[in-house]
Structure 1
Amino acid sequence: MPKLVKSPLTIILVLLGFTLASFWALIAWKGVQERALAFAKAGSETQGLTHSLAQHASKSFNAVSLALFGTGQYIRHSDKSARASAEINDLLAQYAKNIPQARELGVLGESGDWMFSSFETVPAVNNGDREYFLYHQSHPEDATPRISEPLISRVTGRPTLLMTQRLPNPDGSFGGVVFAAIDLAYFRSFYQGFEAEQDRTVTLMTTSGKVLVHRRDDQVGKDIARSSFMDHLKDSGAGLYSIVSPFDGRTKQIAYEAASDFPIVVTVAVPEDAILDGWRRDRNFDVLLGGTVSTILIGLGIVLAVQIRKRSAMARMLRERERGYRLLAENVEDVVTRFDRTGHRLYISPSVEKLFGWSPSELLEQPAFSNIHPAHRDLVKGLIEELGPERLTGNVEYLTRCSDGKYVWVETQMNYVDDPEEPGPEIVGVIRDISKRKAAEEQLISANEQLKALSETDPLTGIANRRRFDRMLELEFKRCQRSNSRISVLFIDIDKFKSFNDTCGHSAGDGCIRQVAETIASCLKRPADLVARYGGEEFAVLLPETSSGNAEIVAEKIRASVHDLSIAHQGSPLGRITISLGIAGGKCDARTSPASLLAAADGALYVAKEHGRNRVCAAAETPSVTLVRPVG
């Protein structure tokens, strides 16, 4: 037995068998781990994309909801004249033009007939029998926007998804429905940019299981309410799991997220075959490498029964493995880098040249943080300083400079690594270009800002509308209370404007209103002063930090400036357009409120009218009694 143990052949066989078994166990373990990692990485990316697309869908639907709200407010505060109807149609057309996901907008009256439309002409169609119309008619308590089931438009004949909202009369009774047709082609076009990679499929559907947008047109409108997906959706509003697709029968990893504000769900599905393509290539390479190494080890073990040859074979195996990992690091699109705690780069992968135009050698020679935008350097330095044994990883977004001098947005995930065999701790970073995502976010923010500005601007004069005036009066009144200062409000009315409108026509009347609005605005010099068209021929002026006496000076200047316009008016005793002004002002204490200021200014305006017009009248310094203009 001792002789057998001491036999070189036996020792080589034992060591060779142990080495090969361990090696293949390692390959199997590596395959299992990398397969799980491939699924985890794909799942993380899919969930991140799903979350972004769900936010995009929610914001897109919210933009349409804001348009419906703005339309309802405009209708509620407008009169029933033909001019007001034309303004509402123009407003709907502007919404349809400025909101790409809204194909058309319209308003149905209480009987279901079209009242207003973003089309050039209002369709002569009755939608009183539609489900959404009957719902709003019978549910006065529900004033929120509502998503309809897909239907065929009676006007365009196209498949349509509607967002609708109840339009109440002043007394709260049913006054009709304001609606917008969601352009599903907008979402299909947007999703196509994300479906090229890994054979992804992005689907937009209702929470009831009705498919709205899908990669395949023949699947649009399909009802998957009975699929297992709906069971997951009932349990959680967002998630990730594997499923046999109800669309093509393939096994896929699917991430889903329901919008928080609307009954819609976004799903992103990736076939498991596509997820595992890279893993299979690595596995086949590992198997080939393992077979090769095993053959070499067996050959070397048979031919050379010495320990040095065994060590040489193991070193070769390790070099091959290192080469495989290096090839992987050098061929991924993301940039892999290593640097010390001072930011000095130790390594950067060749993919940096594709993303930023720098070669690895050029970047390694440059000073730390030199390519980071000056405004973001402290942000990056701060994260590096925070990383350590207590915090091992972190993410940061910043601008970095390319070789052509331009800056691009990147996201870097940093991981703290403290290897005892290295001189000191290091940071391993993975850099990813996020310029497209940042551009999309900025476009959405800009669209929302434009929509807000549009909803607070009078379309005829270009000055603020009543909604903005009321909001700014509330803000300035609260600021006045905090600073114990004074505030004044002017109410302005064009004298005998109805007579002017009837004599000269609506076009001349609109021109007159625009000239008066421009003249009033030109008399206000401070940035905080605000003029707004309050309704019809009435204007309101907000003068923060202004006493009633100083407000009278401004008011008299406005009155004189309008008088000097010399707009001919046969119905006026002076033969020209004039205005009457009411002033209310004082301290913002417990006895006053924005409503009492407006009421006092309105009462003062009435007094100015009663005493001959073309004059300025002021209310009491601290109005505490609500004045109401008499009817007629």
Structure 2
Amino acid sequence: MPIPIFDPFHAPGGALKRLPLLKAAVAFIATVCLCLCGLLYLQLEQSRRYDLESARVASANLTRAMAQQAQDTFLQTDLVLASLADWMQIDGFGPALQPRLQTTFSRRVQSLEQLHGLFLFDKHGQWVVTSFKSLHRGPGIADREYFTFHQQNASLIAHIGPAIRSRQNGEWIIPVSRRLNDQDGNFQGVLLAGIKMSYFDKFFKSFSLDDKGEMVLALSNGTLLARRPFDEAKIGRSLAQEPIFQHESQSMTSGNVTIRSAVDGVLRLYDHQHLQAYPLVVTAAMSEEAILAGWHDRAFKSILIVALVVLGICLFGWVFLRQVRNSERIEADLRKAQEALELIATHDSLTGLANRRLFERALDIEFGRGARQRSPLSLVMVDIDFFKRYNDTYGHVAGDHCLAEVAKVLKSCCHRKADLAVRYGGEEFAVLLPDTNLHGAMALAEQIRQRVIDTHITHSGSPIGYLTVSLGCYAFVPSSLDSIEVFIQRADAALYQAKHGGRNRVAALSTEGGPDPLERSDR
């Protein structure tokens, strides 16, 4: 029954356990780093959503401005055409009136920045009057889409056709035309106003847009009228099959969506709006790369700062953990040294049994426990027979070996943790047996005596030729008035009786102090 000496690294009584500092430090450092990364992620995600939402608002404002400008442009042009059409509906456009019409056309074009020119064609598509001083004389415009439209439709409202090149000077224009009828409602000709495409190009360029952004003016059927950046090859192209235009056609008058372009693979935020008065739609697109350019810059700086902070924490944690490991290693070494010192202080170095110091402490503890619980306490004193003769015959080295063999027998017979085998001094041993009465002690003593004989250690100085031991037993229920010294003396007296009675035997002393009538020996 080992009785540990005081351990400065453990709380008295063992009620409080030392905190696992290394694991706690690792968990704390990991938690701090994860919290920093989590906060960074939340902040960046919130910032990203804010930038995207701001871009949606800006895109919506841009499309509203585009739609308003387009509507004002076409409305002004339409009003000019309507007033001229009403005039010619009444007065006609005979040769006498043509000089006056040419002057009026010219003044109207000069008053509106967006107008390329005004043109009047008869029912055969031939040139009648233009805003230009020199009248273009060509094959006519009977093949033009707007002329065919008015020939086949009796509607007098303005018609906006696909963009064309002016046959007057080759400039790209967007045709806005009206049908002219005679007094009887028969088709009489077409009045055309050409809106300069360069006007919209200039208007589009007035907005700040990234290099990968787009601004589009198109007919409701998807025919492209004007675009930024300008690409002549795409003018007149149908956008009906483009994902963005399909989304526009499915949505209401306005809306936005983020779509990856099938042409260049660029992810863009598209916003569109349909004009209320005319079959037109405007679209503005900003690349997500440009929208998030500022966010990417802030994110890089934030990530760099947090990474440096995390690196600093990790470096500090690494140094701290090394110190903790070193402290634990030093503590472990101290504990091992303490255990070694405890073993040296409480155990015999030759036999490995408990020494008298540990024996006395154990006696003190068991006396107190026995008194509290009213449980018996037994002591067996063991002495090697004729050990001086053994030393004189075989030498002290053999004597030490003999002591070690007897100690092994005592250890093997002590089956309970509470049993304590002790080297009491020289060739004398003791076995302390808590919760054991006299009969139990004698049974154990007899087992020890027989096993020593079974080791067959030759002893020429012994009458039987082998090593034997004598054992004395004493047992009683201790009280607060009993003395430890008396307890040992009575067990020692029983040992004396065993030796005086011929050795190689077990003797016991009764609680009254007299010899027990039971003595076991090998006679």
1:71 to 1:303, Cα distance in 2 relative to 1, 3 A:
same
| 1:563-589 CA-partner distances (Å, limit 9, x unpaired) | xxxxxxxxxxxxxxxxxxxxxxxxxxx
The one-letter amino acid paired with 2:300 is N
Q: Secondary structure at the match of 1:107?
A: strand
Q: Secondary structure at the match of 1:6?
A: coil
The one-letter amino acid paired with 1:184 is M
1:414 is matched with none
The one-letter amino acid paired with 1:269 is A
2:257 maps to 1:241: yes
Tell me the CA shift for residue 61 of structure 1. Answer: 0.9
**Greater mean alpha carbon deviation, residues 257-266 or residues 60-69:** 257-266
2:241 is matched with 226
2:192 is matched with 179
Q: Secondary structure at the match of 1:204?
A: strand
The match for 1:104 among 104, 107, 117 is 117
1:276 is matched with 292
2:270 is matched with 254
| 1:461-494 CA-partner distances (Å, limit 9, x unpaired) | xxxxxxxxxxxxxxxxxxxxxxxxxxxxxxxxxx
Q: Secondary structure at the match of 1:209?
A: coil
Q: Secondary structure at the match of 2:97?
A: helix
User: Gaps (5+ residues) in structure 2?
Assistant: 1-13, 322-523
Scaled by the length of structure 1, the TM-score of the pair is 0.45
2:147 is matched with 133
Q: Secondary structure at the match of 1:111?
A: coil
Tell me the CA shift for residue 103 of structure 1. Answer: 0.2
Distance in 2 of aligned mates of 1:127 and 1:221: 18
Q: Secondary structure at the match of 1:225?
A: coil
The one-letter amino acid paired with 2:129 is F
User: Gaps (5+ residues) in structure 1?
Assistant: 306-632
2:49 is matched with 36
The match for 1:92 among 93, 105, 108 is 105
Tell me the CA shift for residue 24 of structure 1. Answer: 1.0
Tell me the CA shift for residue 70 of structure 1. Answer: 1.3
2:33 maps to 1:20: yes
1:541 is matched with none
| 1:489-536 CA-partner distances (Å, limit 9, x unpaired) | xxxxxxxxxxxxxxxxxxxxxxxxxxxxxxxxxxxxxxxxxxxxxxxx
Q: Percent identity?
A: 23
Q: Which protein, 1 or 2, shows the higher relative CO under an 8 Å CA cutoff with sep ≥ 6? A: 2
Distance in 1 of aligned mates of 2:34 and 2:178: 70
The one-letter amino acid paired with 1:277 is A
Structure 1 or 2, whichever has the larger Rg, is: 2
* C-alpha contact (below 8 Å) 2:119/2:130 kept by paired residues: yes
Q: How many matched pairs?
A: 304
The match for 2:131 among 92, 107, 118 is 118
Tell me the CA shift for residue 3 of structure 1. Answer: 6.4
* C-alpha contact (below 8 Å) 2:212/2:287 kept by paired residues: yes
Q: Secondary structure at the match of 1:240?
A: strand
The one-letter amino acid paired with 1:175 is Q
* C-alpha contact (below 8 Å) 1:224/1:246 kept by paired residues: no
The match for 1:265 among 248, 271, 281 is 281
Tell me the CA shift for residue 55 of structure 1. Answer: 1.0
Question: 1:451-466, aligned counterparts within 5 Å?
Answer: none
1:228 to 1:197, Cα distance in 2 relative to 1, 3 A:
closer
Question: 1:591-630, aligned counterparts within 5 Å?
Answer: none
Distance in 2 of aligned mates of 1:77 and 1:4: 109
Q: Secondary structure at the match of 1:241?
A: strand
Distance in 2 of aligned mates of 1:145 and 1:239: 27
The match for 1:291 among 295, 307, 311 is 307
Tell me the CA shift for residue 12 of structure 1. Answer: 3.4
**Greater mean alpha carbon deviation, residues 79-88 or residues 220-229:** 79-88
* C-alpha contact (below 8 Å) 1:5/1:11 kept by paired residues: no
Tell me the CA shift for residue 163 of structure 1. Answer: 0.6
Distance in 1 of aligned mates of 2:262 and 2:81: 35
* C-alpha contact (below 8 Å) 1:194/1:200 kept by paired residues: no
Q: Secondary structure at the match of 1:292?
A: helix
1:104 to 1:247, Cα distance in 2 relative to 1, 3 A:
farther
The match for 1:162 among 156, 166, 175 is 175
Scaled by the length of structure 2, the TM-score of the pair is 0.54
2:207 maps to 1:194: yes
Distance in 2 of aligned mates of 1:132 and 1:18: 72
1:133 to 1:81, Cα distance in 2 relative to 1, 3 A:
closer
Question: 1:556-595, aligned counterparts within 5 Å?
Answer: none
| 1:171-210 CA-partner distances (Å, limit 9, x unpaired) | 2222211111120011011111214447432122222222
1:193 to 1:61, Cα distance in 2 relative to 1, 3 A:
same
| 1:378-398 CA-partner distances (Å, limit 9, x unpaired) | xxxxxxxxxxxxxxxxxxxxx
2:68 maps to 1:55: yes
1:246 to 1:62, Cα distance in 2 relative to 1, 3 A:
farther
Distance in 1 of aligned mates of 2:303 and 2:17: 33
